[in-house]
Amino acid sequence: GAEQAGAGGQVSWQSFTVAYEHCWTREDFVNAEPGIGVESAPFELGGHRWQTLVYPAGQQRIAGFGPASGFLGPSHSRRGRVGVYLRFLPEEEGQYVDAQFALTVKGHQQAGPRFDVSFECGMRFCEAAREEPSDGRARDWGAHVLPREALPDFLEGEDGTFRVEVNMTVFGEGNTRGKARGRLGSAGGVQRLIGDTVLKAATAGLSEESRRKNGVFWSAPEDVRAELRVGQVFVPTQQPLSPTWLFNRRRMFRSGLYPGVEYRIMGMRDTDTGARIFRVSDASRPGAATVTTRPIYPVTKQLERVWPVEVPLRFAPVVLTQAMYNTATLISTTVFCVLVLGFGLVGREAVSIYKIPSLSMDPTIMPSDLVLTEKVTARLGLQPRRGEVVFFSPPEALKQVVAKNNGRLGTRDLFVKRVGAVPGDKVLVRADGSAQVNGKEYLGGLEGRGERRCALPDSRRKIQDLIPGAR
């Protein structure tokens, strides 16, 4: 599982203002190329060393999470917006810090009201080698907070000083040196080996780093709400057969917690006391946590709202990690495909559909009619019953009749006829073409429906050429 935070308690909210001055001019900020950033000098806050990074023209949009992992999701647009990040500078290998922070870009508008732009989130800050954003671990984190064209309104004076205020609450710290990299709810074994192999095949274009950061690895699905902490990605879902399924779904949609959408926990508080907490387990009672969250990628226009939203975690009947949801999707897709293939194979052996090309069964079956047949009876060796319509391969005598009349049969062509008699029956065929079966007049299975005659005179004449007296 994930590493637990250290015993150090919550530190009060602390502030530090970073001023980017004498490093870049106003023109440098305004004309910067995408992907080019500037780092601040290191500073101390909450007992640890940090620095901020600014990308005046945003970062390059590349596959996966890109060179820096600190943004809200792989689908959010970063190029053309001003990015501001907070970076942790660990003093020893394996060190991490659980922190809630806010980055505020100070405004210097010359016209209209003056305002600042702020981004708040939380993260388990760690060294770069242990980054895993889906599990809420990163070395640097932040957001692209304002359009590039608005940047001049946030540069102070002729020199273009850019100021970022950092506010932080440290909840705990620890060290994972010598420990295996933990994943929330992950499990090993053959299942994971097979699952990871299939997921890699399905995401062949992604690098290992991108798979890890996007939670593309096997993790057996289970409810992990009790283990959640700030910064982690989670997926709200619910039990399909729950009697409260419809009620839960409506409540989730009203609150902005859409089932199956991936969210990042940006903050958390105790539902009862309102106090800031970093883990669900820190709440005053089990599960009494309210999260501030938003999707990690843009949702459809119909689902958009003002983000982030604050939602009691109990509104989500089941909570999965990003990897668990990917695993559950893999399982459900695999099961669905197996069922479809299974039904297809079984159906192919059990039923067939034929298009009728001739008038031989007129008026019961007309040319171009589609007939659905079942093949189970024949495969079980059961004999057809009198009056049933059957499809069969023509015997040699019938093939000769067709050939004599310039007809052609393919190797897979079948004949369709009604069973008039079965083994043991006594059949009498008169010269006029009428017949008796077991002493009763045979009407082709249409007893009570009047005389059975071919409705087309030309076709009747052709049949009579083959069978004298046929009607």
What is the C-alpha separation between 341 and 271, in angstroms, rounded?
48
DSSP annotation string for 194-205 = HHHHHHHHHTTT
Whether 360 is catalytic is yes
Pairing of strands 95-105, 162-175: antiparallel
Phi-psi region of 159 (alpha: psi -120 to 50; beta: other; left: phi over 0): alpha
Round to whole Å and give the CA distance between 189 and 442: 69
Report the candidate in 219, 215, 221, 216 with the shortest Cα–Cα distance to residue 199. 216
Options 118, 200, 255, 417, the catalytic residue: 417
Q: Which residue is listed with tokens 């043991």?
A: 424
Cα-Cα-Cα-Cα dihedral sign, residues 395, 396, 401, 406: positive
Spot the catalytic one: 118, 255, 281, 360.
360
Quote helix, strand, coil % in the chain, to nearest 5.
Answer: 25, 30, 50
SS3 227: helix
213 given a catalytic annotation: no
Q: 100: which 2 tokens?
A: 């809630």
Q: Could you give the residue ranges of the DSSP H alpha helices within 230-352?
A: 245-255, 322-350
- Beta-strand ranges (E) seen in 346-421 are 351-355, 370-374, 389-392, 415-418
Environment class of 265 (CB within 10 Å of its CB; exposed 0-12, middle 13-18, buried 19+)? buried
Please identify every residue annotated as catalytic: 360, 417
